[in-house]
């Protein structure tokens, strides 16, 4: 008789960009010794690869083909993860505003989402996975043990992004960032496939007035049986 496969726990952390999902997912994964899936990176990599290859980014099937053949390595180095595309370190390149807008665009294409589905599920390995994204709890891992929907006001998210960019030595206009965030939220929430919305069984967590440590404690409390 084939033994029943052991249930591998998944902690799904969904929400809009800038809510702190990336940082918190990394911290939660580290605390629990779990693997980490940065699903947004896969959409960003698809956009970057499509741009690099010069294909028509407005054609969903062509972009899905790029997604299907992505040669990606997530190289964990302590707390940081280096992201390699065709062996080239693109960890910074995938975070530019142009790639962000194109990632949001290609993420709305159903064949692209389909092409990336199994690749995301393959991250589920012992002893467990923290999955960061928009549809982790609704579509990719509907049986996740814990589902968190982490959000913050657009202003707070723009401010955090502004500080991040400033730290990297990039100069940006905080109002333009807030506009970009609103536009991307709208694009991500209004698309017909896997829109950004909390799973019915998700815990809603607003991080606007909370520190990272406070949010981390709330998530870890939710994870404890």
Q: Does 43 bind ligand DC (CB under 6 A)?
A: yes
Region 175-204 residues binding ligand DC, contact defined as CB under 6 A: 184, 188
Min dist. Cβ of residue 134 to ligand DC (A):
4
DSSP string, 17-63: TTSSHHHHHHHHHHHHT-EEEEHHHHHHHHHHHHHHHT--TT-HHHH
Please pick, from the candidates 134, 157, 160, 161, the single residue that binds ligand DC as defined by CB under 6 A: 134
Min dist. Cβ of residue 103 to ligand DC (A):
4
Min dist. Cβ of residue 177 to ligand DC (A):
13
DSSP string, 205-219: EE-TT--HHHHHHHH
- Beta-bridge partners for 89: 84
Task: Read off the tokens for 14.
Answer: 């969904």
d(CA 49, CA 74): 16
Q: Does 44 bind ligand DC (CB under 6 A)?
A: yes
Task: Select from 1-9, 57-65, 128-136, 158-166 the region that touches ligand DC (CB under 6 A).
Answer: 128-136
Q: Does 29 bind ligand DC (CB under 6 A)?
A: no
Please pick, from the candidates 25, 39, 102, 207, the single residue that binds ligand DC as defined by CB under 6 A: 39
Peptide bond connecting 88 to the previous residue in cis, omega within 30 degrees of 0: no
Q: Which burial class, exposed, middle or buried, applies to 195 when counting CB atoms under 10 A from its CB (0-12, 13-18, 19+)? A: middle
Region 96-115 residues binding ligand DC, contact defined as CB under 6 A: 103-104, 107
d(CA 114, CA 224): 32
Task: Select from 38-46, 148-156, 172-180, 200-208 the region that touches ligand DC (CB under 6 A).
Answer: 38-46
Give the footprint of ligand DC on this chain (CB under 6 A).
17, 39-40, 43-44, 103-104, 107, 133-135, 184, 188
């Amino acid at each position: 008789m084939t033994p029943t496969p052991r249930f591998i726990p998944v902690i799904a952390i969904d929400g809009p960009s800038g809510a702190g999902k990336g940082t918190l997912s990394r911290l939660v994964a580290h605390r629990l010794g779990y693997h980490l899936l940065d699903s947004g990176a896969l959409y960003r990599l698809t956009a970057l690869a499509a741009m690099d290859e010069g294909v028509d980014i407005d054609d969903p099937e062509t972009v899905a083909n790029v997604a299907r053949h992505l040669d990606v390595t997530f190289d964990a180095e302590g707390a940081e993860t280096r992201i390699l595309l065709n062996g080239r370190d693109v960890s910074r390149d995938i975070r530019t505003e142009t790639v962000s807008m194109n990632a949001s665009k290609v993420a709305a294409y159903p064949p692209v989402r389909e092409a990336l589905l199994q690749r995301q599920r393959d991250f589920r390995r012992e002893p467990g996975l923290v999955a960061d994204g928009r549809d982790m709890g609704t579509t990719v891992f509907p049986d996740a043990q814990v589902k968190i929907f982490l959000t913050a006001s657009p202003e707070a998210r723009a401010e955090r992004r502004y500080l991040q960019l400033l730290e990297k030595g990039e100069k940006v206009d905080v109002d333009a960032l807030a506009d970009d965030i609103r536009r991307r939220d709208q694009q991500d929430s209004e698309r017909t496939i896997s829109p950004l919305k909390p799973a019915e069984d998700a815990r809603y967590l607003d991080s606007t007035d909370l520190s990272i440590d406070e949010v981390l404690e709330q998530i870890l409390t939710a994870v404890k049986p």
